[in-house]
Chains A and B, each alone.
Chain A
Amino acid sequence: MARASHAGTDVLLSVENISLSFGGVKALTDISFDIRKGEIRAIIGPNGAGKSSMLNCINGFYHPQEGRITYKGVTRRQMRPHEAAEQGIARTFQNIALFKGMSTLDNIMTGRNLRMKTGLLAQALHWGPARREEVEHRAFVERIIDFLEIQHIRKVPVGRLPYGLQKRVELGRALAAEPDLLLLDEPMAGMNLEEKQDMCRFVLDVNEQFGTTICLIEHDMGVVMDISDRVVVLDYGKKIGDGTPDVVKANPDVIAAYLGTSH
Chain B
Amino acid sequence: MLYREAGQFKTSYDADQAIFPILQDRIFVLALIAIAFLAPPALGMSEYLYTEILIPFLIFSLAAVGLNILVGYCGQVSLGTGGFMAVGAYAAYNLWLRVPAVNDLVIVFLFGGLMAAGVGILFGLPSLRIKGFYLAVATLAAQFFLDWVFARVKWLTNYTPSGSVAVGNLSAFGIDIDTPVARYVLILAIVAVLTLVAKNLVRGHIGRSWMAIRDMDIAAEIIGFRPLRTKLLAFAVSSFYVGIAGAMYGFLRLGAWEPLAFDINRSFAILFMVIIGGLGSILGSFLGAAFIVLTPIILNQLPGWLGISMSTALISHLEFVIFGAMIVFFLIVEPHGLARLWAIAKEKLRLWPFPH
Is A204 an interface residue when CB atoms closer than 8 A count as contact?
no
B224 contacts across to A, CB distance below 8 A = 82, 85-86, 113-114, 177
User: A106 to B208, Cβ gap below 8 A?
Assistant: yes
User: A82 to B226, Cβ gap below 8 A?
Assistant: yes
Q: Helix, strand, loop or mixed for chain A's interface?
A: helix
Q: A109-B208, A123-B201, A123-B205 are in contact. Are A131 and B14 (CB under 8 A)?
A: yes
- Centre residue among A98, A102, A111, A126 by max chain B CB count within 10 A: A126
Q: A123-B200, A135-B13 are in contact. Are A101 and B215 (CB under 8 A)?
A: yes
- A-B CB contacts (within 8 Å), total count: 100
Contact of B219 among A93, A126, A177 (CB under 8 A): A93
User: A110 to B209, Cβ gap below 8 A?
Assistant: yes
A118 contacts across to B, CB distance below 8 A = 205
Chain B proximity mask over A28-53: 1 for CB below 8 Å, otherwise 0: 00000000000000000000000000
What's the Cα separation between A205 and B54 when bound, in Å?
Answer: 59
User: B17 to A106, Cβ gap below 8 A?
Assistant: no
User: A99 to B13, Cβ gap below 8 A?
Assistant: no
What's the Cα separation between A112 and B350 when bound, in Å?
Answer: 33
A133 contacts across to B, CB distance below 8 A = 205
B353 contacts across to A, CB distance below 8 A = none
Is A134 an interface residue when CB atoms closer than 8 A count as contact?
yes
User: A59 to B222, Cβ gap below 8 A?
Assistant: yes
Q: A111-B223, A134-B17, A138-B13 are in contact. Are A97 and B201 (CB under 8 A)?
A: no
User: B211 to A99, Cβ gap below 8 A?
Assistant: yes
Contact of A135 among B14, B203, B209, B211 (CB under 8 A): B14
What's the Cα separation between A50 and B237 when bound, in Å?
Answer: 42
Q: A113-B223, A114-B224 are in contact. Are A134 and B204 (CB under 8 A)?
A: yes
Q: A81-B221, A81-B222, A138-B13 are in contact. Are A126 and B216 (CB under 8 A)?
A: no
B318 vs chain A, min Cβ distance (A): 38
B119 vs chain A, min Cβ distance (A): 18
Residues of B within 8 A of A (CB): 12-14, 17, 197, 200-201, 203-206, 208-209, 211-212, 214-216, 218-226, 233, 237, 280
Which 4 A-B residue pairings sit nearest by Cβ, starting from the closest? A85-B224, A97-B219, A99-B215, A126-B200
Q: Identify 19 new A-B residue pairs, CB closer than 8 A, beyond the known A102-B208, A106-B208.
A: A82-B225, A82-B226, A85-B224, A97-B216, A98-B219, A99-B219, A100-B216, A102-B211, A110-B212, A112-B205, A113-B205, A113-B224, A113-B225, A114-B224, A134-B13, A135-B14, A173-B223, A174-B223, A177-B223
9 pairs across A/B with beta carbons < 8 Å?
A81-B221, A81-B222, A82-B222, A97-B218, A97-B219, A106-B208, A116-B205, A120-B201, A139-B13
